[in-house]
Amino acid sequence: MAETGTSGGGRGERRSRSRQAILAAARELFSELGYEQTTVRAVAHRAGVDPALVMKHFGSKEQLFDAVSEIGLSFGGALGGPADRLGERLLAHVLADIDGRPDRSMPVLRSMLTHPQAAEAVRCAVADPGNSPLADALTGDEVELRATLVGSVTLGLLVTRYLLRVPEVDQAPAERLVELLGPCLRPLLDGGTGGVGGSDEEGGSGEEAGAPGDGGSAALLAGLAAAESARLAAAEEVDRLAREALAAGASFGEVGQLLGISRQAARKRWPRAESTSGLVTT
């Protein structure tokens, strides 16, 4: 096979078209299969070019992977704003980056367990001591550990949503994930002080956050308990309203669409409501 688009245009234009076709094919295959299972021959076949042309443009599969890959876990663009909404901003920033540029991030995420280069890129994004904007913005004890845990939780969300495709997480709107998970990051971000970047309006001194030397664990546990109580209360309200809507004649599809889940997931979640709604609609 020759270069793509040889029927028209100058040599430089044909080279540019073939290069873009190779990059597009590589993004798709690295995202679908990961680094190990993607071959230069498969990329060339999808791009409609000779494998030798792939090597001519990029030199090796690793260099081709490097050209199409970028992990979007940087939190630097989300640090400005109210401290009590930082967790929500961080998650919204990362999800928007992945959804907006899946062809850049997915090759790295798909390949991180089998390719050292991808694994190192993810490690640096999640935990890069000495070069972490989030750690620099935190105050209190163990800022690097806390920043790394925030990155780890975020990475877990990305794996669940984009790689494992767990239905409830995969189908939920990004805004709903941010709303539910963002407050859970607050204890890590404020370190039991009630703020970020030196804010300590409610917690007083670091010693008051817990017993000396315990890193404010009492305040962290209290915050975790409060967040869990709020989550359970919200879940109960969703269940109540969903059952009432189904009993009033709404379909499982309508309820599922509103909550960002499938009709089957809604039916499985509220099985008793099926018979109730059936009685109302018959």
Say which range, 64-68, 94-98, 178-182, 262-266, has the weakest mean pLDDT.
262-266
> Is there a contact between 259 and 242 (Cβ–Cβ < 8 Å)?
yes
Q: Taking 80 as the threshold, does the pLDDT of residue 4 lie above it?
A: no
How far is 172 from 162, CA to CA, in rounded Å? 12
How many Cβ atoms from other residues are within 10 Å of residue 264's Cβ?
A: 12
Quote the pLDDT of residue 205: 40
Convert the pLDDT of each residue in 139-151 to its tens digit: 889 988 999 899 8
Per-domain boundaries in the chain: 11-67, 76-209, 238-281
What are 111's two structure tokens?
């390949």
pLDDT of residue 121: 81
CATH of 11-67, one of 3.30.465.10, 1.10.10.60, 3.30.930.10, 1.25.40.20: 1.10.10.60
Q: Same fold for the domain at 11-67 and the one at 76-209?
A: no
pTM exceeds 0.75, yes or no: no
Give pLDDT tens digits for 210-258: 444 445 566 676 677 677 667 667 767 777 888 888 888 888 878 777 7
Q: Helix/strand/coil (H, E, C) string of the chain?
A: CCCCCCCCCCHHHHHHHHHHHHHHHHHHHHHHHCCCCCCHHHHHHHHCCCHHHHHHHHCCHHHHHHHHCCCCCCCHHHCCCCHHHHHHHHHHHHHHHHHHCHHHHHHHHHHCCCCHHHHHHHHHHHCCCCCCHHHHHCCCCCHHHHHHHHHHHHHHHHHHHHHCCCHHHHHCCHHHHHHHHHHHHHHHHHCCCCCCCCCCCCCCCHHHHCCCCCCCHHHHHHHHHHHHHHHHHHHHHHHHHHHHHHHCCCCHHHHHHHHCCCHHHHHHHCHHHHHHHHHHHC
* Percent helix, percent strand, percent coil in the chain, to nearest 5: 70, 0, 30
Q: How far apart are CA 101 and CA 214, in angstroms?
A: 41
CB atoms < 10 A from the CB of 28, how many?
18
pLDDT in tens, 190-206: 876 555 554 333 334 44
- Amino acid 197: pLDDT: 53
Average pLDDT over residues 18-25: 90
pLDDT of residue 172: 92
Which whole-number Å values give the CA distances from 32 to 25, 157, 169, 244, in the listed order? 11, 19, 19, 41
- Asked which of 47-61, 150-164, 220-234, 264-278 is least confident by mean pLDDT, the reply is 264-278
Q: In this predicted structure, what is the pLDDT of residue 42? A: 93
In terms of average pLDDT, the best of 10-19, 52-61, 211-220, 225-234 is 52-61
Tokens 């105050």: give the residue: 139
Beta carbons of 226 and 253 less than 8 angstroms apart = no
Write out pLDDT tens, residues 106-144. Answer: 888 888 888 888 888 888 777 665 667 888 888 889 988
| Residue 114 near residue 169, CB atoms below 8 Å | no
Was domain 76-209 assigned CATH 1.10.357? yes
How far is the C-alpha of 98 from the C-alpha of 105, rounded, in Å?
Answer: 6
pLDDT of residue 204: 40
Q: Tokens standing for 274?
A: 């099926």
> 8: which 2 tokens?
């028209």
The predicted pLDDT at position 124 comes to 78
- Residue among 61, 133, 134, 68 at smallest CA distance from 101: 68
User: 272 pLDDT band (50/70/90 cuts)?
Assistant: low
- Tell me how far apart the alpha carbons of residues 223 and 153 are, in angstroms, rounded to a whole number: 17
pLDDT in tens, 169-185: 999 999 999 999 999 99
